[in-house]
Amino acid sequence: MPRWNKERNQMTILSILMSNNPFSYILGFGLFGMILGVDLWFKSVTESFQKTDKPKQPKTAQEYVERGYELMNEIPPLQQNKNVQHQANCKNAQKSFQKAISLDSKIALGYQGRGMSLICQKNIIDGKKSLHHAKSLYLQQGKKQEAKNIDLILKYTKN
């Protein structure tokens, strides 16, 4: 018997069963769906615990800048001292920005990130110096909008 005939016969049998007792048919598929759903949920949960995804080590100045912004924007877990955790993230981000600057001294985004991370750590004076340097680099590179954005950051940063 060809494969398609076998499947057609199974469909016929299922339709007869459904027409004889649709209530049991619906409950059977509901139970099957629930079992399948629970199984898929457990697989996704266990996979998330098994992932040991290490972030790749940055190599270029741009990658260090991107990593720094990722670190700075990490949302601290729900705890009492969110501010302390956020400042620790900013300190780690500052190291990444500093590495980017050491690789490329003309990377304005690195100076901007370093300034923001210093301000985040309550080191306002050094943060503003770094932001001013980023602004001058942006102006040298002809990026006037980014320089205006730095002006806004400086304007609303409290001493």
**Residue 122 zone, left/alpha/beta (φ > 0; ψ -120 to 50; rest):** left
Which is more confident, 157 or 125?
125
Residue closest to 58 by CA, chosen among 14, 104, 21? 104
**For residue 57, what pLDDT is reported?**
86
pLDDT above 60 (res 141): yes
Do 31 and 70 fall within a single domain?
no
Domain assignment of residue 16, given as a range:
3-45
**Mean local confidence (pLDDT), 56-79:** 83
DSSP letter at 2 equals -
| Same domain membership, residue 81 and residue 28 | no
pLDDT at 64 over 90: yes
Within a domain: 127: yes
Tell me if 50 is assigned to some domain.
no
- Which stretches within the chain are classed as H helix? 3-20, 22-50, 61-72, 82-103, 108-120, 124-140, 144-156
pLDDT at 151: 93
pLDDT, tens only, 107-139: 999 999 999 999 989 899 999 999 999 999 999
Residue 7 belongs to some domain of the structure: yes
Whole-structure pTM value: 0.64
pLDDT of residue 98: 95
